[in-house]
Amino acid sequence: MTGTGWCRCSCRAWITRRAADIDDPGERLAEHAAAARDNLAAATRAADRIEAGIELLVGDDIARRAFGFANRAMYLQRLHTQVAGWPEPGHELMADASVQEGAHRSELLVEVTV
């Protein structure tokens, strides 16, 4: 399935179901109908942005690779942040993180000395 297919099948179907709920007396949303419609409009705009982003990634190899690079960088930063607070007092922590582009994987090597 292409990028836009996922968004249309998942996001749009959910929004359509929730829109039908607003007018369903069994859902008891009458007093919240305006807020519900505003939220569904915001969800539709978000789905539009997601869909546009997926279309860009599917159709532009440079954008896809840049997106992957940014995600790996954020992953490594999160990992480093978690590891930074890990050693007990009196222990030394040495971490070496490397991203191997060809293998599309990240590794974090940690050595703890006492």
Reported as a single tens digit per residue, the pLDDT across 32-88 is 999 999 999 999 999 999 889 888 998 999 999 999 999 999 999 888 887 776 655
* pLDDT, mean of residues 94-112: 47
pLDDT at 50: 87
pLDDT at 7: 55
Is the pLDDT at 101 greater than 60? The verdict is no
C-alpha distances (whole Å) from 50 to each of 17, 53, 79, 87 are: 19, 5, 26, 39
pLDDT at 4: 54
* pLDDT, mean of residues 89-94: 58
pLDDT at 74: 92
Q: Are 37 and 22 in contact (CB under 8 A)?
A: yes
DSSP 9: I
Beta strand 105-113 with 92-100: parallel, antiparallel or unpaired? antiparallel
* Among the listed residues 77, 69, 73, the one whose alpha carbon sits nearest the alpha carbon of residue 95: 77
Strands (E), 32-91: none
**Angle, helix 33-59 to helix 61-84, in steps of 10 degrees:** 110
pLDDT at 92: 57
Q: Are 50 and 11 in contact (CB under 8 A)?
A: yes
Least confident range from 16-20, 52-56, 95-99: namely 95-99
Four-point Cα dihedral 22, 25, 30, 35, nearest 10: -20
